[in-house]
Amino acid sequence: MIWQTHPTPELLQAACANTLCEHLGMVFTEVGPDSITATMPVDHRTKQPAGLLHGGASVALAESLGSIASSILVDRKLKMPVGLEINANHLKSVTSGTVTGRVTPIRLGSTVHVWNIEIRNEKSELVCTSRLTVVIVDQRVAKT
C-alpha cells in the first residue's frame, strides 16, 4: 500500500466539498492499495455544446484524481502538491451516463509524482488516458 494514511472514499468526498469536484458531480468510489477511483456524470455540467463529454471535464477529473492522490502521500503541514503538467488523449466520445477515472502511480519521488489516469465509459471502454506531473513544494513556498 502506498498511502501514508488510510483514506476512504467518504473522507476524499468530504475534502471536495465546495470545489470543482463537487460542482462537476465527481464521486469517489474506491481506494485501492495503489489507486483511487471516482465517477463523474456526463450531463449538462460536463458536456460541450455539441452534446459530448467535454475534454476539459475529463482533464478536470484526471487532475483531481492525481492531485488528491499526491495530497494524501505528503505531510500537508509541511508540503503541498501542485500540478505541473497534464496531458490527455481523448480516444472515444461519450454522450450520456457516467465515466469512471482511476489513478495509479508511475513514479513517486520526494519532489515529483507522476500519475497515470484512465477514464472509461459504462462499457469499460477507454475514453481518455492522461498523465499528470505533480511537484511537491514547501507550504511556505505555496503561500507566496
CATH 3.10.129.10 assigned to 9-142: yes
Distance between CA atoms of 11 and 138, rounded to whole angstroms? 24
Assess whether 63 carries a catalytic annotation: yes
- CA–CA separation, 128 vs 20, rounded Å? 19
- Of 63, 85, 118, 122, which one is the catalytic site residue? 63
- With 0.85 as the threshold, say if the pTM is over it: yes
How do the domains of the chain map onto residue ranges? 9-142
Q: How does pLDDT run along the chain (144 residues), one tens digit per residue?
A: 899 888 999 999 999 999 999 999 999 999 999 999 999 999 999 999 999 999 999 999 999 999 999 999 999 899 999 999 999 999 999 999 999 999 999 999 999 999 999 999 999 999 999 999 999 999 876 565
